[in-house]
Structures are given as structure tokens and as C-alpha cells.
């Protein structure tokens, strides 16, 4: 009797599983491959990207060691497509409504503890995949930085609890996937796939010499500070960098009262290294505009674009374009339909780079009626390119020579490298490469209210306007003239900083109420951790070690 009952239960489960695979609200891909049929409801971990038709059970990993230059993929085997699973959650919605308002929820469990849950962004994966795919592969770790939402999902897990959970040793990682729908309220469906993998975290061996605070070599332009620092705290930081807890950091430089307090280099960098700090270069555009205004080549930042371009000659002309000011571009508050935050924006920087003329690309953009109705901050790289073009037209001998003579030479900066637009104009969007010590000099110029060695490079008024709360970004975060602003809270005390910021966690911090300039350079481009680890380094180590 018991055997018959068990047999009936087995048949019922197989029937239900079969129905789940066959009854479609929208037509989904058939489950035809043997490997798929054998693994419905499972997540398999693989080191290689193997086409579904070639996958064997032996390709599935049982354990994985996290180290440099390795690859980890997941292959998800489902009984139906995402849209069909979403239909079970909310049967009254149409296929398009389900597809547009739903996606996968990922749960990461380490050693039987839930560490991270994420409702995948609605834009991850296209509509046809959501409706049709019954199996998919995404990379979690990619040695060649494969562009995929899976890699960014893994990074978010890793830097929101995963790293702490993965201490040196062996751990059990489990991933669960459910469908979720966000339509007025969040609804999460039943489990549709799960898998687990033994994760091995090796101990990173490094030389203790890498941990010691590095000696500062004399330099002509800057004195060495005699102020005390918390050596133990800095060595603790250096150990984290050596152990790859903080990844891809190349340098840290601290100036106190205009003197070198700390100068540390990592990952094969040294004082001579030119660092590509990406959008840190935008702040240099602000500086050069300020110098051009001081020298009367440009009247003021309140001048409008129609004073420099015949906007009627460009596409999508609107009268409102005539009133866009240089200040609007400086503060990322113009009415152009351009946003680097929104990948779907017509004026997103990724749409600009492949074009033959970046100025035409920008001035051809339509206006954003929402921005016209209410002024708002929106990060817009193309607008900074236009600023560079205007300065280049107005200063003698072009922007490159002008910048050398009136900024770099004045600060004793002789070794640097620009990037250029297709028209061979200095690219003010970013990418200017300098030594870390020279980036620190640039920050100190602002700390000095525009003076260097007794000479007024920038007016105090320009510095004050640049380092001010011109536009609100978020709670306690602001934007000036191509400088960011925020406040760190360390041990109950606030430290307000203005800063230049570039992809990967590249920073020049200028403290408002402390005699400090801090530079952090990094090659963690396009990673989730680049920005977060720069903040951790500031809050947990540098401020505590330096400010007494």
C-alpha cells in the first residue's frame, strides 16, 4: 500500500512538472535538450560558456576557488519562461504588462544565512527573452569583463555582505531565483530554480614590507609634513590593499597644510605613474573656464550658447536652447535631453563617443520638456565637451597650449597626457592623465583659494562658486561647478568635502574645514566596488588616521 501511494505521488509530481512546462500563457521555448530535461528547476555553475546543445553533466562545478583571472557562470534551467511564471502571480495582467513590470529575484545564501536579496532591474534582459527563454546563462565572474547584468549582480552581492561572508576558507554558496512583479505593490512568486556550490577563498600571501608606511621622497614643489599620523591605521589599510580586500588601488596621497603627509603607491604604480582618473578631468574644465573668464577671453559663466554657436544650424532647434548658459553645463542642469544616468537617454555619453563630431552630437539633441518645466541636476558628459570647445575657440592658440601655460606650468606640472575629441580638441569630458602628486597640487590650488606660490591662478570668487551647493543631488549631496560635495560622518563628527570624481573610485577630496587634500587613484573602472571602497577608505581609515 505504501509503495502504491509513493508511486501515485511520483506520477502526480511528474504530471504537475510536465504541465508547468507545457501550459503557456505566452509561447515559450520548448525543453528539448536532455541536459535541460534532467535539470529543470536547477542552477548549474560552470567555468566556461558552453552552448546548451553541448553541455554535459560533467561540466557542472562542485567547487570553485575565487582568485584572479577566473570565470564563473550560472546556467539556469527553468520549466517555463519568466513571463509565464509572472502570469501565475498576476493572471489579470497582459503579457506586455507582466514583461515590463517583472523580472527575477535573486537570493544569495552563504553557509545557510541569507546575505543578499535583489530584485533584478526591470531593464535587465530584453522582452523577448523574458517571454521565450526557458534556460539562460550569465557570467558572475568574468576574466575579460564580459558586459552582462550577471557580473554586476555578483559585484553588488559581493560588496553588500558577500565579501564579509566569504572569509578565508571554504563556504557553501546557494542561489535561489524567484519571479517578482512590481505593479503598485511588490509580489514575489514561488521558487523556480536553485543551485549550490562550494566556494574556496584562498589566503592571499603578501610581503609584510608592502604593509609598512612608505617613505616620502623630497620633491621641489612641496615640502614634507611633520604632522603625526596613526601609523597602525595606515598599515591596516595597506594590508587590506595588499590582500585585495580593497582592489585596484594604485595610489593615496594626502596633503596637510599644503605639505605631503602621506604618499603611498600600490599595484606597480609609483610617483612617475600617470593615472587615468576618467571624469576627474571634468573639474579641470571648470578650472580652465574660470581662468579664461579671469583673463577676459570669456565674459562670464552666465553667457548663453547662442553667443558661441548659431543654434539654428543644428537639429531639433528650439528657442529655449538659446538661453542655455555655461553655468547650466557647469552644474549639470541644462535642458538638453541628455543623461549619463539613463542608458536610454538620447544624449547618453555612450551614444556620443562613436560619432564623428561630439559638438554636433550635443547641439543636435532635443530639449527635455521635463527639465524645461523644472530645473534639475542630471549628469551630462556631452555638455562638458561643449564647454571645452567654447574655451578652445576663445583662448589664444587653443585650449591645450592655454592649459599648459596658465595652469599646469604654474603648478609645476610638466608630465601629463590629454585625450582628444575627434576634432583634436582637448577632451574636457575626462581622461587627462597626471601623477598623483600633481592631482594633489590641483586640489591644493582650491584649498589655497586659487593661489599658488603667491600668484593668483584662479579668482577667489570662482573657487567659492565652484565649491558651493549649486545643485542638490540627494540628501546631503550637492554639485558645484563640476565638483561634487558630500559629508562624511566619522566617530560622530561631520567632515564636509568637495571633490573631483572619476569612474572606478578616482577622487580628489578638498576638505572644507580641515587643512587637507586627499587623492585616491584606482583602476577599478566600471565596477560596483570602485566607488564604495573609496568611501570605506576615507571613513574607516584615512580620516581616522589623519584628523586629530
What residue has cell string 587613484?
Answer: 521
Residue 229: all three cell numbers together = 599620523
Is there a contact between 95 and 127 (Cβ–Cβ < 8 Å)? Answer: no
Q: What is the spatial distance between Cα 367 and Cα 364, in angstroms, rounded to a whole number? A: 9
Question: Per-residue b/e over 302-316, b at no fewer than 16 CB within 10 Å?
Answer: eebbeeebebeebee
Helices within 243-380 (DSSP H only): 281-294, 326-330, 349-352, 358-363, 369-373
**pLDDT value, residue 527:** 83
Q: What is the spatial distance between Cα 378 and Cα 346, in angstroms, rounded to a whole number? A: 13
Residues 314-365 have pLDDT tens digits of 999 999 999 999 999 999 999 999 999 998 899 999 999 999 999 999 999 9
**pLDDT value, residue 15:** 41
- Asked whether residue 145 carries a pLDDT value surpassing 90, the answer given is no
SS (H, E, C) 110-138: ECCEEEEEEECCCCCCCHHHHHHCCEEEE
22-201 placed in CATH 1.10.3470: no
Domain boundaries, the chain: 22-201, 208-275+435-546, 298-394
**pLDDT value, residue 21:** 47
**pLDDT value, residue 188:** 98
pLDDT band at 19 (very low <50, low <70, confident <90, very high): very low
- Asked whether residue 149 carries a pLDDT value surpassing 60, the answer given is yes
pLDDT band at 191 (very low <50, low <70, confident <90, very high): very high
pLDDT band at 17 (very low <50, low <70, confident <90, very high): very low
**pLDDT value, residue 206:** 87
Report the share of the chain in percent with pLDDT over 70. Answer: 96
Residues 273-294 have pLDDT tens digits of 999 999 999 999 999 999 999 9
Helix (H, G, I), strand (E, B) or coil at 248: coil
Closest C-alpha among 377, 280, 395 to residue 330: 377
**pLDDT value, residue 23:** 62
Is there a contact between 103 and 127 (Cβ–Cβ < 8 Å)? Answer: no
CATH number listed for the domain at residues 208-275+435-546: 3.40.710.10
Q: What does the CA dihedral 63, 67, 69, 71 come to, rounded to 10 degrees? A: 30
Is there a contact between 507 and 312 (Cβ–Cβ < 8 Å)? Answer: no
Amino acid at each position: 500500500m505504501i509503495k502504491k501511494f509513493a508511486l501515485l505521488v511520483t506520477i502526480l509530481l511528474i504530471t504537475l512538472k510536465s504541465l508547468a512546462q507545457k501550459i503557456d500563457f505566452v509561447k515559450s521555448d520548448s525543453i528539448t535538450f536532455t541536459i535541460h530535461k534532467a535539470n529543470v528547476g536547477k542552477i548549474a555553475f560552470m567555468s566556461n560558456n558552453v552552448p546548451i546543445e553541448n553541455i554535459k553533466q560533467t561540466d557542472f562545478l562542485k567547487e570553485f576557488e575565487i582568485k584572479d583571472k577566473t570565470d564563473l557562470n550560472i546556467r539556469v534551467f527553468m520549466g517555463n519562461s519568466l513571463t509565464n511564471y509572472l502570469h501565475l502571480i498576476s493572471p489579470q495582467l497582459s503579457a506586455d504588462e507582466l514583461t515590463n513590470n517583472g523580472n527575477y529575484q535573486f537570493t544569495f545564501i552563504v553557509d545557510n544565512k541569507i546575505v543578499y536579496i535583489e530584485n533584478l532591474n526591470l531593464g535587465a534582459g530584453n522582452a523577448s527573452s523574458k517571454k521565450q527563454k526557458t534556460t539562460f546563462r550569465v557570467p558572475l565572474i568574468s576574466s575579460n569583463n564580459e558586459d552582462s547584468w550577471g557580473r554586476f549582480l555578483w559585484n553588488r552581492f559581493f560588496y553588500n555582505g558577500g565579501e564579509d561572508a566569504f572569509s578565508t576558507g571554504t563556504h557553501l554558496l546557494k542561489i535561489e531565483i524567484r519571479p517578482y512583479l512590481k505593479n503598485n505593490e511588490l509580489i514575489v512568486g514561488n521558487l523556480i530554480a536553485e543551485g549550490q556550490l562550494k566556494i574556496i577563498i584562498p589566503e592571499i600571501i603578501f610581503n609584510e614590507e608592502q604593509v609598512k608606511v612608505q617613505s616620502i621622497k623630497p620633491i621641489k614643489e612641496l615640502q614634507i609634513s611633520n604632522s603625526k599620523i596613526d601609523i597602525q591605521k595606515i598599515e591596516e589599510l595597506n594590508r587590506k590593499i595588499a590582500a585585495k580586500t580593497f582592489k585596484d588601488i594604485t595610489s593615496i596621497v594626502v596633503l596637510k597644510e599644503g605639505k605631503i603627509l602621506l604618499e603611498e603607491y600600490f599595484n606597480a604604480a609609483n610617483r612617475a605613474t600617470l593615472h587615468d582618473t576618467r571624469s576627474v578631468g571634468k573639474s579641470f574644465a571648470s578650472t580652465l573656464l574660470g581662468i579664461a573668464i579671469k583673463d577676459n577671453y570669456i565674459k562670464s559663466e552666465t553667457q548663453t550658447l547662442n553667443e558661441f554657436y548659431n543654434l539654428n544650424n543644428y537639429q531639433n532647434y528650439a528657442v529655449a536652447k538659446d538661453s542655455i548658459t555655461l553655468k547650466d553645463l557647469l552644474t549639470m542642469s541644462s535642458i538638453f535631453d541628455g543623461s549619463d544616468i539613463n542608458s536610454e537617454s538620447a544624449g547618453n555619453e555612450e551614444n556620443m563617443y562613436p560619432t564623428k563630431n561630439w559638438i554636433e552630437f550635443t547641439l543636435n539633441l532635443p530639449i527635455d520638456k521635463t527639465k524645461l518645466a523644472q530645473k534639475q541636476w542630471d549628469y551630462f558628459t556631452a555638455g562638458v565637451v561643449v564647454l571645452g570647445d567654447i574655451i578652445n575657440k576663445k583662448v589664444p592658440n587653443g585650449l591645450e597650449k592655454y592649459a599648459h601655460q596658465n595652469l599646469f606650468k604654474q603648478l609645476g606640472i610638466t608630465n601629463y597626457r590629454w585625450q582628444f575629441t575627434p576634432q583634436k580638441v582637448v577632451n574636457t569630458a575626462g581622461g587627462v592623465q597626471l601623477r598623483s602628486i600633481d592631482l594633489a597640487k590641483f586640489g591644493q590650488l582650491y584649498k589655497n583659494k586659487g593661489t599658488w606660490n603667491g600668484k593668483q591662478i584662479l579668482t577667489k570668487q570662482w573657487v567659492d562658486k565652484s565649491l558651493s551647493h549649486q545643485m542638490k543631488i540627494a540628501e546631503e549631496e550637492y554639485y558645484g561647478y563640476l565638483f561634487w560635495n558630500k559629508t562624511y560622518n566619522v566617530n560622530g563628527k561631520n567632515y564636509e568635502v568637495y571633490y573631483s570624481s572619476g569612474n572606478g573610485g578616482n577622487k580628489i577630496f578638498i576638505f572644507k574645514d580641515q587643512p587637507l587634500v586627499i587623492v585616491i587613484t584606482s583602476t577599478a573602472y566600471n565596477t560596483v566596488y570602485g566607488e564604495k571602497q573609496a568611501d570605506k577608505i576615507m571613513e574607516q581609515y584615512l580620516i581616522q588616521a589623519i584628523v586629530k
